């Protein structure tokens, strides 16, 4: 199962590339972000360009991204004011905020999964500094101090201005119309609590957002309103996709194409390995998420924790916590909480 040609360079190459019949992919830049770009997908809202279009995800509200979106849409006959609706997979800024900017400018409609409502409300209320509280409980107060410095209150306030409530909340199983195309929304919590994928069953195409990515596994539960067990939710959401017919994978980051089912099984295998590594870290004496994270190799290159950037160390500690929670749910380890001061893990006695 492969995509149609999408260009001759890297997947981040600018332009509008047809990846399935009447589906164009526009990669938009993510400066200073290791992901490098986000894929926005363009669907006709009717038989002619004058009918406008529907976009899956929107990009980050940056002048550079907006200019490139305008240029790329123009190459296939659309303007920014032709975007009738954004169907957004989840609330992270690289997927949501440019849609909000264009909503304000042109009246485009923005729709988002209902499960994201607590996240959106927390951001709008400038109350999303959850990592400042959580990192000390994970045994990493020094990373909390780094995060406080790098993400100051004035920056949080500015970020909050990029958000507002969507025009519509999408519910699990909802049918969404885009011209002659009908998409089914499937709620896939894990990466965030309200993440959605969109399936065109007739065309055997799935817009997988960050839930299923071709080259990496997404961060788990990096969101303002933290899930109690984001990894368990993520694994269940992966298995849910196996109950649907296989489809062409159109992800939010990375090269489009390939089988959703094949990649889902690879991701499930990866997390089996990661759970085993996390359990081994506890068996070797790691007692906190931070200590366990330092005992585990990271990235496809097996990078040592201490060689990661500060931000990626924060991600690593959070993901290790998520794996520890799942192991505790499976009774393979025991979680203890010292009030709200520290979470510790050990083998059952």
Do residues 216 and 321 share a domain? no
Q: Is 277 exposed, middle or buried (0-12, 13-18, 19+ CB in 10 A)?
A: middle
Q: Which two tokens stand for residue 225?
A: 């309103």
Do residues 257 and 284 share a domain? no
Last residue of a domain, one of 218, 235, 266: 266
Is 27 a member of any domain?
yes
Last residue of a domain, one of 245, 266, 287: 266
Amino acid 4: pLDDT: 38
Do residues 99 and 76 share a domain? yes
Is 8 a member of any domain?
no
Question: What is the dihedral sign for C-alpha 345, 346, 347, 349?
Answer: negative
pTM (2 d.p.)? 0.94
Coil, strand, or helix at residue 159?
Answer: helix
| Under 8 Å between Cβ of 135 and 143 | yes
**Digit-coded pLDDT (tens) for 304-326:** 999 999 989 999 999 999 999 99
Of the given ranges (226-230, 238-242, 250-254), which has the lowest mean pLDDT? 226-230
Is 2 a member of any domain?
no
Is 324 a member of any domain?
yes
Structural domains in the chain (count): 2
Do residues 261 and 289 share a domain? no
Average confidence (pLDDT) over 130-153:
85
CATH number at residue 336: 1.10.10
Strand partners, 206: 199, 249
Do residues 84 and 218 share a domain? yes
**Digit-coded pLDDT (tens) for 273-302:** 999 999 999 999 999 999 999 999 998 889
Return d(Cα 164, Cα 49) in angstroms, integer: 29
Q: Is the pLDDT of residue 8 over 60?
A: no
Q: Is the pLDDT of residue 130 over 80?
A: no
Nearest to 90 by CA among 212, 267, 257: 212
Domain that holds residue 145: 17-266
Cα distance between the two ends of the chain: 49
**Digit-coded pLDDT (tens) for 26-39:** 999 998 778 899 99
Is 164 a member of any domain?
yes
């Amino acid at each position: 199962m492969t995509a149609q040609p999408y260009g001759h360079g890297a997947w981040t190459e600018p332009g509008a590339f047809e990846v399935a019949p009447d589906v164009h992919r526009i990669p938009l830049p993510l400066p200073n972000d290791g992901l490098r770009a986000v894929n926005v997908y363009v669907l006709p809202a009717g038989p002619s360009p004058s009918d406008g279009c529907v976009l899956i995800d929107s990009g980050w509200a940056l002048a550079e991204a907006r200019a490139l979106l305008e240029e790329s849409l123009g190459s296939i006959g659309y303007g920014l004011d032709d975007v009738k609706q954004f169907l957004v997979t989840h609330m992270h800024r690289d997927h949501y905020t440019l849609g909000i900017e264009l909503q304000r400018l042109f009246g485009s409609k923005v729709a988002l999964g209902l499960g994201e409502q607590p996240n959106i409300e927390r951001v709008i209320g400038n109350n999303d500094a959850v990592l400042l509280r959580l990192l000390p409980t994970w045994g990493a107060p020094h990373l909390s101090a780094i995060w406080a410095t790098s993400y100051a209150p004035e920056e949080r306030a500015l970020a909050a201005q990029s958000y507002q409530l969507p025009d519509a909340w999408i519910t699990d199983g909802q049918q969404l119309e885009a011209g002659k195309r009908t998409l089914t929304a499937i709620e896939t919590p894990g990466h965030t609590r309200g993440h959605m994928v969109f399936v065109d069953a007739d065309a055997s195409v799935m817009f997988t957002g960050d839930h299923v990515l071709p080259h990496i596994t997404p961060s788990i539960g990096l969101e303002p309103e933290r899930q109690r067990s984001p990894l368990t939710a993520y694994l269940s959401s992966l298995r849910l996709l196996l109950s649907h017919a296989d489809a062409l994978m159109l992800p939010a980051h990375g090269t489009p194409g390939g089988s959703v089912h094949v990649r889902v099984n690879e991701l499930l295998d990866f997390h089996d390995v990661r759970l085993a590594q996390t359990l081994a870290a506890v068996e070797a004496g790691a007692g906190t998420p931070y200590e366990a994270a330092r005992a585990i190799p990271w990235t496809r290159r097996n990078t040592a924790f201490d060689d990661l950037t500060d931000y990626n160390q924060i991600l690593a500690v959070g993901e290790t916590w998520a794996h520890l929670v799942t192991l505790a749910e499976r009774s393979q380890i025991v979680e203890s909480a010292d009030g709200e001061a520290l979470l510790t893990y050990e083998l059952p006695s």
